[in-house]
Structure 1
Amino acid sequence: MGYKKSIKAFTLVEMLIVIAIIGVLMGVMTVSYSAIRQRARDTKRVKNIEQIQTALKLYFYNESSYPDNLTFDQALTGSTSSTTYMQIIPSAPTPTDGNCTSRQNAGGYTANIASSSYQVAFCLGNRVGNLSAGPKCLTPSGIIDMDCTPFACGDQLNITIIGNHVCNTSAPDYDTCSYSTVQIGTQCWTKQNLNIGSIVSGATTQANNDILEKYCYNDNTDNCLTDGGLYKQDEAMQYSAAKGTQGICPSGWHLPSDAEQNTLDQYLNDTTCDANRVNARDCANAGTKLKAGGSSGFEGLL
């Protein structure tokens, strides 16, 4: 009788099970590797911010102010000296992680007018040490939980306070605290007229009394909500005679000067607008484009 050697092999079912197990393991490895890379990017973001914070401290110590501007991927040099405080200002790793937007991840630097303080925006997709996920803001006193991503025209402009007046959407002020913005040529404008201040009747004279006051057309609060508040020129300028003064505008914004208004008119009127605007129709095309439903994007009451 001949001897026949038995050969062991996988059945089809066993092979399918093995393939499925390998697929699951590969999926787990991919997810784990992705999570590791995300954590590494977040750790790098924090390290970058710590390095920037150190460089800004040295800058302030030697220059007696913070830089007006800070550009990522470029050197940080002194304003009153040739000292280099950072060879390359590191930009945030990409891609974005967690719920961070691309703009939040890119961050940005802003200094106050006196260059005595600053904000550097960044965003974490995951917790890093004591820092939770989400938008963060580096300040001279440390990192705080706040989105300080620099404003870009087209963003929503949110107002909390102007002067002594706290924006209040309910009675008795019925303010508008959020405004759309639009880029027109080289300028950025709010799309709507401002509506902020304490309502006074049309029979009351707006006065220099540290109270931001507004009229509503025909003494009807609904008109303030639809068309914006009405202000005498002195009240609008907050009793300043300076061109381009902030007036009743939020921080970082100002009332347009005549030259800025003419720049707007020229852009919308194909450079044929009379800078002096002596006649009612010197800038007719610009007015047509600026009125509600016009092509400029501005929707305020003219």
Structure 2
Amino acid sequence: MLVSMIRHVLAAVAALVMVAGCGTDQAAAPSADRELILATTTSTQDSGLLDELLPAFTKDTGWRVKPLAVGSGQALELGRRGEADALLVHSPEAEVKFVAEGSAGQRRLVMHNDFVLVGPSADPAGIKGVPAVEAMKKIASGSAGFVSRGDDSGTHAREKQLWQQAGIKPAGSWYRSTGQGMGATLRVAAETSAYTLTDRATYLTQKPALDVLNEGDKALLNIYHVIEMTKKAGERVQPDGAKAFADWMVGAKAQQMIGDFGDGKLFVPDAGKDEATLGS
């Protein structure tokens, strides 16, 4: 229902644009049948990256994009139900399982940045400079406050991996789950002087009153892929739009824009690289 309403509204808007533009060069103008839904992570939205990329993609291809910014788990579910045409996500293990189900097309490497553990400058758990898994143990053993996204996102998936590697099942008054995106979770952590795991791009753009206390561990690598959906997921899926978006994201222009975004400090473009070499 939601997807149908979105497509209807986008079609109406595109039609109005086409009427208003009569008599001008419409070669690259989006049309009512060239609209795709992108299910992506809140980090690509909260960092501002989508605001840079999507208008350029539309200008180059004529495809209009409606982004749905959710956790990676929710984005994969939208793809599974045929309610998105393309996915831009950062939960590699879940992505591999998803593609193996058979309803998705290509999955391609786009970019990476990293996760960081942030917290109050006083660092009551003493996590600064220790390996990431050891940092999680210190937070739990000292019952220092920790705020989790708790939303089945790629960030939440990585947090759960770290707790598992530390042999800890977090629970108790010191552990809080927001069920919200990265920006909201950072605000809660800052307001309660707690620790949290965040992607670096959102941290740098949101600038919460928290310090980066743990970084650089390969366990904190944050890798993004673009996934094309196919008609196997549902008849509403637009494979042509999905392929156009994926091709553009791994193309030279988008990769340059990704590398330049945020003065080159937020994301590293990776199209065509060997994923196994990232972070080494």
Structure (1/2) with the larger strand percentage: 2
- Judge same fold: TM > 0.5, yes or no: no
TM-score band by shorter chain is: under 0.3
TM-score, normalised by the number of residues in structure 1: 0.23
